[in-house]
């Protein structure tokens, strides 16, 4: 859910219409601070109890789990997807609940132990714990996590607040999620020996609270995240992708598949970096604070007053995201992924 209106580019019409229908008969909480889709996590004012952030995410069997091919990696990813939403609102994680739907014919007790270990060790990495959940047998595998965190009054961060001329930064290298998913489904690779364990960028909380104007995570890909921020704020955006912005695995997979690197920023496996808008005057101070916390922030563009949604790729070519992103989304990741990507590139964008 990445937009205030279902017909925006950043949210497809089918998903948006369902969300709109679901919400039509819901009563809005008087405690809620954000409107629909304005923040990665829902924000509640508990009065004397402070501010609460909470979010829920589900990973379904198939393409959504292409980046996690071991039980441990699935547990790690299940915790991370929801904690990343807390990170995007600069909340401090408190607890995670995990719900599992498992197939009887696929899961052993050792698999379950490894899943639990992955989910728990990820939570510990983020300074919280898995405190419970639910487990069921099902015909299809899925994993859901609900994360809760606390916020400091006066420092609420959402997807709103970006202004024309703001710089667009990301907390670290991008493209890893798309590269791992593509390697698994299109190149026949496996991550069993070296699983991809992405990290929610909870460490960015203090710098974001001090300097960022708007923020979103990149779990749906960097380019979709940039478009979401632009549309929500009534702005245009120019995303500028230099070679050094990409994660090493994104560059390696792109080279092996003979694809441009920007493809790893355009699909929707994504990673869990945070994309944020910032006044250029504050950008250097924020980057230093990020670096002190072990992050590798990078400048990836700027917001503009006009309507353009542009990618300027590593070769300097300008690409219209209004055309490119829908075409990328139309590709079935479970189909002829490599051939379909090459056909899209041959047809231009």
Burial of 325 per CB tally in 10 Å (0-12, 13-18, 19+)? buried
Percent of the chain scored above 90 by pLDDT? Answer: 79
Alpha carbons 215 and 275: distance in angstroms, whole number: 6
Alpha carbons 250 and 248: distance in angstroms, whole number: 5
pLDDT at res. 190: 62
Contact yes or no for 155/209 (Cβ under 8 A): yes
Considering the chain, what is the average pLDDT of its residues? 92
Contact yes or no for 300/245 (Cβ under 8 A): yes
DSSP string, 46-109: -GGG-EEEEEEEEEESSGGGTT--SHHHHHHHHHHHHHHHHHHTTPEEEEEEEEEEE-TTT--H
Report residue 149's pLDDT band, with 50, 70 and 90 as the boundaries: very high
Report residue 9's pLDDT band, with 50, 70 and 90 as the boundaries: low
Alpha carbons 78 and 85: distance in angstroms, whole number: 12
Instruction: State the CB neighbour count (10 A cutoff) for residue 82.
Output: 26
pLDDT at res. 203: 98
Bridge partner list, 182: none
Alpha carbons 182 and 171: distance in angstroms, whole number: 23
Strand order in the sheet with 274-278: 214-217, 274-278, 167-170, 298-304, 236-240, 309-312, 318-320
Instruction: Find, among 173, 99, 175, the residue nearest to 141 by Cα.
Output: 99
Q: Given a cut of 50, is residue 7 above it in pLDDT?
A: no
170 CA to centre of own chain: 12
Percent of the chain scored above 70 by pLDDT? Answer: 94
pLDDT at res. 191: 55
Return the C-alpha torsion angle 281, 282, 288, 290, nearest 10: -140
Alpha carbons 174 and 181: distance in angstroms, whole number: 13
pLDDT (average), residues 190-194 = 62
Contact yes or no for 177/269 (Cβ under 8 A): yes
Instruction: Classify the C-alpha dihedral 257-316-263-340 as positive or negative.
Output: negative
Q: Given a cut of 90, is residue 258 above it in pLDDT?
A: yes
Pairing mode, strands 129-137 and 92-102: parallel
pLDDT at res. 348: 56
Tokens representing residue 101 in the block: 């739907």
pTM above 0.85, yes or no: yes
Check residues 347 and 57 and name the one with the higher pLDDT.
57
DSSP string, 148-196: EEEE-TT----S----TT-EEEESS-B-HHHHHHHHHHHS----SSS--
Instruction: Find, among 103, 80, 99, the residue nearest to 144 by Cα.
Output: 99
Q: Given a cut of 70, is residue 95 above it in pLDDT?
A: yes
pLDDT at res. 335: 85
pLDDT at res. 312: 97
192 CA to centre of own chain: 23
Pairing mode, strands 92-102 and 142-151: antiparallel
Report residue 112's pLDDT band, with 50, 70 and 90 as the boundaries: very high
- pLDDT, one tens digit per residue, over 160-180 is 999 999 999 999 999 999 999
Hey, is 296 helix, strand or coil?
Answer: coil
Q: Given a cut of 50, is residue 6 above it in pLDDT?
A: no
């Amino acid at each position: 859910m990445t937009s205030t209106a279902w017909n925006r580019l950043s949210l497809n019409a089918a998903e948006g219409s369902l969300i709109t229908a679901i919400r039509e008969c819901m009563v809005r909480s008087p405690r809620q601070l954000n409107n629909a889709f304005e923040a990665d996590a829902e924000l509640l004012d508990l009065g004397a109890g402070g501010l609460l952030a909470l979010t829920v995410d589900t990973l379904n069997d198939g393409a959504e789990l292409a980046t996690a091919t071991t039980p441990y990696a699935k547990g790690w990813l299940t915790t991370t997807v929801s904690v990343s939403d807390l990170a995007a609102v600069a909340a401090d994680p408190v607890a995670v609940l995990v719900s599992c739907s498992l197939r009887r014919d696929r899961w052993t007790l050792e698999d379950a132990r490894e899943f639990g270990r992955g989910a728990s060790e990820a939570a510990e990495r983020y300074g919280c714990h898995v405190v419970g959940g639910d487990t069921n047998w099902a015909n299809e595998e899925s994993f859901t996590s609900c994360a809760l965190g606390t916020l400091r009054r006066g420092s609420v961060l959402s997807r709103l607040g970006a202004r024309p001329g703001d710089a667009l930064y990301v907390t670290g290298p991008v493209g890893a999620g798309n590269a791992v998913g593509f390697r698994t489904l299109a190149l026949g690779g496996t991550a069993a020996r070296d699983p991809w364990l992405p990290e929610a960028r909870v460490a960015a909380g203090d710098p974001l609270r001090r300097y960022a104007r708007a923020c979103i995570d990149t779990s749906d890909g960097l380019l979709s995240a940039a478009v979401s921020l632009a549309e929500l704020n009534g702005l245009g955006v120019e995303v500028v992708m230099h070679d050094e912005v990409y994660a090493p695995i994104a560059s390696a997979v792109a080279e092996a598949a003979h694809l441009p690197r920007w493809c790893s920023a355009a699909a929707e496996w994504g990673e869990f970096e945070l994309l944020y808008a910032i006044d250029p005057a504050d950008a250097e101070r924020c980057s230093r604070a990020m670096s002190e916390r072990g992050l590798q922030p990078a400048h990836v563009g700027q917001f503009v007053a006009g309507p353009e949604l542009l990618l300027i790729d590593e070769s300097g070519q300008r690409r219209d995201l209004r055309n490119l992103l829908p075409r990328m989304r139309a590709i079935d990741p479970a189909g002829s992924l490599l051939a379909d990507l090459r056909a899209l590139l041959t047809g231009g964008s």
